[in-house]
A = this chain, B = another copy of it.
Amino acid sequence: MKKYIGVDVGGMSIKAAVVTEDGQMLSKYSCPTQTDKPYTVMTENIYNLCLSILTDADLKKEDIQGVGIGCPGTIWREKGIITFANNLDFYNVPLVKEFKKYWNINIQIENDANCAALGENKFGSGKGYKDCVFITLGTGVGTGFIVDGKLFTGRRGAGAEAGHMVIRIDGEKCTCGRRGCWEAYASASALIRETQKAMQKNPDTIMHKIAQEHGKVSGRTAFEASKQNDPEGKRIVKRYVKYIACGVVNLINIFRPEVVIIGGGVSNEGQYFIDMIQRYVNRYHYGKKLNPKAKVVRASLLNDAGILGAASLVME
């Protein structure tokens, strides 16, 4: 069976695995990202990670058909360049060219959320669908789009940034410089911000106790309180789902996908959370019963979507 390497560069760590053509991971390693170092160091780290997983899987470089790398920021895949990545402080970084100094192999790079979308489309919840919207709810809101079976990235890979679609003009500040972006309302960070606000206002809410038990206010605090029938917790969850669904419906009206795949830590809340989004979608998508319906599903590959999608960049 053909073998590839998928690499997922995150803000904290770089993960890599040998991936077979049917989406099995044979070996998986990670190392710290070292965001304070130049891209030449990161490239060398990625190469060393590749060597480690090859050794671990008892494989040679010759056994590998290609290396795919997912990376945060704007990636110009055709040129093999990271146009810019704020977290990594990278600007016009020729990653592919640099990597080829170590290993002259078929290598492709792509944005990390786009890779996760590809991964879910090829091996996860989006399998068998030609039109998918993928959304990951984490520190930010990442989006990836599969249109007619192909990854849609916008020109020069600089689109598909629907986290930075304003859903409340003049609203909360976003890291991108605008106000009211979807990310500023639908990310886990936004949920935590709203939970904290509500806790400050309401000394009586059960959320104080829940946060204490967990050692901190997290994206789960309001969900847990809601399950225990706390009115404040319920209010926050209801509003948070509305914010998520608002952006989801916007994207359905533009892309009209078969499935909307929800990933990221918050998606662990499970099916009832997905169902809440689905109900909102059914009610508000453009054309209602007359237009094709989009099914909301939970991502299934979780943290491996990025690696598997990165590997799929180099599978034909």
Contacts and interface: CB of A to CB of B under 8 A. Distances in A.
Interface of A: 74, 83-84, 91, 130-131, 147-148, 152, 154-156, 158-162, 164-169, 176-178, 185, 242-243, 246, 249-250, 252-258, 283-284, 286-288, 290-292
Nearest to A129: B155
Given A159-B256, A165-B253, A169-B242, 17 more contacts: A84-B290, A131-B154, A155-B255, A155-B257, A155-B292, A156-B292, A158-B256, A158-B292, A159-B253, A162-B254, A166-B246, A167-B169, A168-B169, A169-B185, A177-B288, A178-B249, A254-B254
Nearest to A160: B254
A69 B115 CA distance: 39
Contact of A287 (B74, B162, B246, B252): B74
B161 A286 contact: yes
A74 B254 contact: no
Contacts of A246: 166, 169
Contact of A290 (B83, B131, B178, B249): B83
B256 A154 contact: yes
A283 B177 CA distance: 9
Contact of A284 (B162, B177, B286, B292): B177
Contacts of A177: 283-284, 288
A283 B155 CA distance: 19
